[in-house]
Every structure is written in structure tokens, then in C-alpha cells.
Amino acid sequence: MFIDSGEIPTRSIEINPIPVPKEAESIINAAKDLHTVCSENKVSYRTVGSLAVVGAIGRFHRIPGDVDAWYDSSKAIILRDRLRELGYSHSLVDAPGNIFPNPLEHFVRDKNVIELRGANFTERGIEYPIHIAIPGIPIYKRPEIQLVTPSVMAEPATYLFGNQHIVGLISNPLEELI
């Protein structure tokens, strides 16, 4: 059964720690804050986006501008409150024509930027709603579908950036099927 407990995963991808360039330190600090808050409060999360790609390929191919992550939406209030306690300001960002689920939760402290989307961590995997893109129709009037990242692809993996652990998705889910 996949339902994630929010515990730090036992699977660890730490063959070699990924060296962190100076330009990426603020993003790694933001990832550290997210990891700490989620670990202490048993909030399941997965880093996605460019930082997840860095973890999967084992090197910085470019410097990410933020930390993108999915988190267990049932723990939204806890997560928001704890990040605010760390000094992050919170806003909702939504662009007209946005095809992604609901407004993005945007947290900023100095140069540390975290962008979060709530999701449901279920037996099937990680589920999140997405509105079908229909030009000229506001997002709240669009039909909604559930996207599912299947459980085999949603299993957590811990990557080591310098000395900081970050939970992401496994880099090659097909290996898990063999």
C-alpha cells in the first residue's frame, strides 16, 4: 500500500553527495526549510521541477529559481503555519489560462522561494486535480480531472545536496518494476 506516512523515506539515493554551487545555496536553504518542516510535522512531500531533475541526474545542469513541491493537502494548515513561523511570507499565485491545479502557494523569505501544490497521497499514488485548458474560460468554470502519479513513480527517494537531504521522486521508476 502506498499511502505515505510523512516519515523520511528509507530508500536513499546518496551514491555521491551533489556539490552545491554558491548560486544555488539559497534554493538549498529553502529546500532544507521545507524538509525540516515536513519531517517534524509528518507531512508527506515530493520535490518536483528543476531541483528534482538535479537530484535525479546527480548534478546541477542549471540553477533552479525555486523549490517546487507537492505536499499532502490534508496537512496544509500545519505546513503554512510552520513556514510562516520560519519567516516566510505566503501568497497565492494564479495566472489566467493556468492549466495546473488551483492557485500555486508561493512562500518567500529573502532569496528563498518555495512553490507548493497540494495533492492527495493515496493507494493509487499522488493525485491532484487539474482543470482542462479551454481558452477564454476562467479556470473555476473549466471541467476538472484527477491526474495520478502512479504509486511506482511516486515512491520517495532522498537525495543529498551537499549535506542536506531532500525528498524527491525516484529517478527511474522502471528499475523498480524489474
Residue ranges of the domains in the chain?
Answer: 12-171
Look at residue 42 and give its three-state secondary structure.
coil
The reported pLDDT for the residue numbered 52 is 87
Mean pLDDT to the nearest integer, 60-72: 91
12-171 in CATH: which number? 3.30.460.40
| Poorest-pLDDT segment among 8-17, 52-61, 74-83, 145-154 | 8-17
Grid cell for residue 77:
494548515
C-alpha angle with apex 109: 84 to 159, nearest 5 degrees? 90
What pTM does this model have? 0.82
Residue 84, Cβ neighbours under 10 Å: how many? Answer: 13
Residue 86, Cβ neighbours under 10 Å: how many? Answer: 14
Query: What would the pLDDT profile of 22-64 be if each residue is shown by its tens digit?
Result: 999 999 999 999 999 999 999 999 999 889 888 888 889 889 8
- Report whether pLDDT(115) > 90: yes
Higher pLDDT among residues 138 and 77, named by residue: 77
| Mean pLDDT score across all residues of the chain | 82
- Give the separation between CA 4 and CA 11, rounded to whole angstroms: 13
161 in Cβ contact with 16 (< 8 Å): no
Grid cell for residue 100:
495546473
| Poorest-pLDDT segment among 10-19, 71-80, 85-94, 164-173 | 10-19
